[in-house]
Amino acid sequence: MSRSSTYQYYLSLTEHPYSHLIDTLNDGVKFFNPQKLNDPRYGKLPLSIRVLLEAAIRKCDGFYVKEEDVQNYLDWQEQQNVAEVPFPPSRVLLQDFTGIPAMVDLAAMRDALVKHGVDPYRVNPVCPTDLIVDHSLQIDFKTALKSQEMELIRNKERLQFFKWCSKAFQNVNVVPPDVGAVHQVNLEHLCRVVHVSDGLVYPDSVVGTDSHTTMINGLGVLGWGVGGIEAEAVMLGQPVALTLPQVVGCKLEGSINPLTTSIDVVLGITKHLRQANIAGRFVEFFGPGVSQLSVPDRTTIANMCPEYNATVSFFPIDQVTLKHFNKTSDQEKLELLESYMKAVNLFRTYEDSEEDPPGTVLFLQVIEIQLSSFIPYVSGPKRPQDRVAVSDMKVDFHSCLKEKVGFKGFHVAPDRLQTQVPFQHAGQEYQLAHGSLVIAAVISCTNNCNPSVMLAAGLLAKKAVEAGLGVKPYIRTSLAPGTGMVTQYLNTSGVLPFLSQLGFEVIGYGCATCVGNTAPLPEGVADAIKQGNLVACGVLSGNRHFEGRLFNCVSANYLASPPLVVAYAIAGTVDIDFEKEPLGKCACGKEVFLRDVWPSREEVQQMEEDTVVSSIFQELNSRMEVSNLECPETAVFPWDQKSTYIRQPAFFHKLSKEVQPPRSIEHAHALLFLGNKVTTDHISPAGSISRVSAAAKYLLSKRLTPREFNSYGARRGNDAVMTRGTFASIKLMNRFIGKSGPKTLHIPSGQTLDVFEAAERYQREGIPLIILAGKDYGSGSSRDWVAKGPCLLGVRAIIAESFQKLHQTQLLGMGILPLSFLPGQTADSLELSGKEKFSISLPEELALGHALTVQVDSPQHKKRHMLTKPASQGQAQHVFITIL
């Protein structure tokens, strides 16, 4: 289908309520010019809010978007964090982990319409949608390239389904495997900055089914992550509903230290913004320091938005942005981009202090950051927010070994701190100890838009090899470039062979180690770790590294810049002080220190200038053709009943033409009693499928071998697998059980069961379910199955101390009530054991903030009641409990 059939306007331009704002550029292209409102409030709006306002003006139809919504945007100073407003983005971005269930849902909708005698073609995206096949890459071999990706049977079903989607649905563009990671393809190929449709120009904007969609904000394109449920609604023409965001200004000043990489800058800014408590807010950058950041630097910073809980980190377009697009766009498009952005006052000159607040734009608050203050850091060993200066790494790791088990500690007994375990590998004997490195992954999903750090890794590898250094062969090394562009400039620069000599060979294009797609460790390594109960380590240059995510026996994992990943791989341990201890010895016996092989900033910049050229970006276009796999050309998808990848979901089996009122919850049991920081990894794992899990039992019943299980992410198109995978994390801490694991208590019988088996029994018994939880429930990557899974398990409500905002919206979309305790109150303070029965009366007209009565029955206590309010997007809603 042609991608020109974009979001249709509900009114013609002559009938449009804001037709008087239509202006014309020199080349005759029309646009809505908010400056023609002659409203002084427009000049005071943050530039990110101006993008939202333009979309509201352009899409104002009196139904989805009303004139009062436009006025709320203009009245941002008073209405921020108060008014609920619609936002119709220009396009939708899907990666295959969350894209496949979204497309499966649309296919199932067509089946439901056929069942009711309705034309199936009425189910069709109206908002342009790009689906990138990248997250389901599984590392099997060092050379897992496109031909193998296509030939593996386990990928064939999904790829055929994707191709069917590209033919059956309008406005769906499928980007095949081997092109790149979703964030990078979005930056290098799909990004427009401005759209031109039917003679009208307007800003590019996007929502994506990945929390790191925010990366695009580094190019001046407004975008953020939503769940698959919200994305499906946008695809079908419904705007995103959001509370008018508060906007925090971030002023950058000073110069970047020559030895500091973009990762150090990212983690430094992340720390500042996290401490500023900006959860759910927009961040907009300004100040003279911004002009010193390249576009790759900006996109790397914007990519880390989820780590400091901002909705977006927006870098308005400036001359640096235009210079970047000069590599990828023709002169005509560049002139249109510049003239339009300046015409609507969306262009910035960061060096001009007159554009800084409070002279023009007004922000909720301003955070000032000195770029010169940043030094090299890593993050870990369990959470991305726990930063450690590289100079302090050795001391900090020893401290972590001794600390009690928690966010950093491992509580290793004093007599076990010096444990060493010998093992055999490839006919040679090696030893492992606490801190030994077993996984080293150079992943460029956060960095390949910034060639400097990847080239620095390559230059370090070159100097290390020339100095006679190497990497121990048992370390699981890998290089997962986000796109072919990275491989090309590493190869053109001549450093790729040196990375390969150290074991960092290209394994494919897409999400790999970050999402748990690490190949199994050598058997001798895994056995040695278990034998000595060692705190083994992984180091990666990705953005996710929760405990056990890379591999279940690798307890300590650190995020680091690509050159530091290479450095730690050469050292073979994180238990090292680079200033005092050598990486190794050269052939002549001379000690080689990190400072001897670390490339200078000038070397990296020169190599970047010589190798990263426009042809590298343009080369991507040659790989955009969808595979030559055959697929049916039908209006409805022919489901294969034998398939374990693509399955018709159960959501629409009971679809009714009548709108049903909400049902009250009577005598519910708690399926789980959880603590704080329950992430989406705990709720819906993305890694490999454990052989003893409920999902494994299902796959075994389908006569699959464990080798054929693949990952949860690859099987998101099968609701039977994903429902069984819900709460299947080995790190789930359920207070009913008292230890980590995917188990829970079936309260009526007192039996300990897998979470799925318990939920299945409750459903057979006709007992509804709730979940009790602590703070920050649902934090982490956005995934639709974190709401779909609990829904299919029979969960009707979740009562927690606080929720991650996006997950809260997803729960509401699946009909699950997100309820939160009053400040200062917890399940413990209210003496809840979790074994009570909960009844929640729901009125026919249920609205956000509506007070509800929850009756709690327990054999140990008198009957109690809770006064509850469903959580809303705008403000935290609460649960109040009194004992009668």
Q: What is the token pair recorded at 667?
A: 């005598």
The predicted structure's pLDDT at residue 518: 59
Q: Which pLDDT tens digit goes with each residue over 285-308?
A: 999 999 888 887 888 889 888 888
* 632: Cα separation from own chain's centroid: 32
Beta bridge partners of 253: 370
Q: Which pLDDT tens digit goes with each residue over 480-535?
A: 887 777 888 898 899 999 999 999 998 877 665 555 555 688 999 999 999 999 99
Indicate whether this model's pTM tops 0.85. no
Four-residue CA torsion sign, 764, 768, 773, 778? positive
SS3 state at 9: coil
Name the DSSP class of 326.
Answer: T
Q: What is the token pair recorded at 452?
A: 């400097």
SS3 state at 13: coil
Give Cβ neighbours of residue 370 (< 8 Å, ≥ 6 apart): 253, 254
**CB-CB contact of 10 with 126 (8 Å):** no
**CB-CB contact of 171 with 138 (8 Å):** no
Four-residue CA torsion sign, 565, 571, 573, 576? negative
SS (H, E, C) 694-760: HHHHHHHHCCCCHHHCCECHHHCCCHHHHHHHCCCCCCCEECCCCCECCEEEECCCCEEEEHHHHHH
The predicted structure's pLDDT at residue 151: 43
Give Cβ neighbours of residue 831 (< 8 Å, ≥ 6 apart): 861
Cβ neighbour number for residue 826 with a 10 Å cutoff: 16
What residues of the chain score a pLDDT lower than 50?
Answer: 1-10, 138-152, 447-448, 545-546, 548-549, 613, 615, 867, 872-884
Q: What is the token pair recorded at 785?
A: 């199955």
Q: What is the token pair recorded at 769?
A: 């379910």
Q: What are phi and psi of 874, to 5 degrees?
A: -75, -35
Written as one letter, the residue type at 107 is A
The predicted structure's pLDDT at residue 445: 63
Of 436, 485, 518, residue with least CA distance to 142: 518
The predicted structure's pLDDT at residue 878: 34
Of 1, 12, 27, residue with least CA distance to 126: 1
The predicted structure's pLDDT at residue 726: 94
DSSP string, 430-472: EEEETTBEEEEEEE-TTTTTSHHHHHHHHHHHHHHHHTT----
Inter-CA distances, 828 with 278, 353, 602, 746, 852, Å: 28, 52, 57, 21, 21
**CB-CB contact of 51 with 341 (8 Å):** no
**CB-CB contact of 97 with 718 (8 Å):** no
**CB-CB contact of 714 with 159 (8 Å):** no
